[in-house]
Amino acid sequence: MKDRLNICVLSNSHAGSLKQGWDRMCKNHPSIEVTFFAQRSHGMKDLEVVDDKLLPGNKKLGSAIKFTSKGKDLVDPKEYDVFLIYGLGLQPITNNINGYSEEFLKEAVDDYVKKTILYATYAKLTSITNKKIFLSHNPLRSYNEPFVNKPLEYYYDGIRLLNDCGVFREGDEVIPQPEETIEGGYKTSPVYCNGSVKVEVGDRHDGENHDKSDLFHMNGKFGEVWMRNFLASF
């Protein structure tokens, strides 16, 4: 790892857990700077490419990314060494894909991925930088009632398919959710979901807990495990 590593994270509401996790551990990584650009829901779709930078397409998005990035109005790729695009509508593949032809799978995944805000953001970013881009899906759904387990290998087969489908540039990489957070092959352990808090974007909902029925957003403990595993990949 170089003396100073600058990481840019582009995300949606799922940035909340990663940022909360990073805030817990950043003092132990003084040589790493992580800058978050995020907006809840579908807001990141309004990023625009202008003069080899990513700019907000409206005031609401501009306010959110300025808040989450601690003062930056835009994404200038020259300021970062590596990028992470996280969540933004990309769902994990957890079903058994064995028995389907490679051609069918690649076509299906290509069609699916290209409909996500994650891919739209990726396409904009790759048009202005050749630097390494990591990508990862929305967290695996947690649970509050019994469920039937699946082989964990199904999930990893899905990650391999996303990496091999030809949608992303050679050298860019879809990375999995940390295995220690997964139960039953395709669920996130409730310990990483309970008490999850909304990503702070500078509005009246900052600091609010997600509803107890929300099994899709994770907490700071999850974010800390996720970021620790992510940094270990460098």
Task: Tell whether the model's pLDDT for residue 20 goes beyond 80.
Answer: yes
Which residues span the domain enclosing 152?
5-232
What are the pLDDT digits (tens) for 37-87? 999 999 999 999 999 999 999 999 999 999 999 999 999 999 999 999 999
Question: Rounded to two decimals, what is the model's pTM?
Answer: 0.96
Over residues 88-105, the mean pLDDT reads: 97
- Here the CATH number for the domain that contains residue 148 is 3.40.50
Distance CA 129, CA 11 (A): 18
Pure H helices in the chain: 15-25, 59-68, 102-113, 117-126, 152-164, 220-232
The tokens describing 44, both together, are 């990141």
Question: How many structural domains does the chain have?
Answer: 1
Residue 233 has pLDDT above 90, yes or no: no
- Averaged pLDDT of the chain: 97
pLDDT 10s digits, 182-195: 999 999 999 999 99
- pLDDT on residue 2: 64
pLDDT band (50, 70, 90) for residue 26: very high
Q: At a CB cut-off of 8 Å and minimum separation 6, what does 207 contact?
A: 197, 198, 200
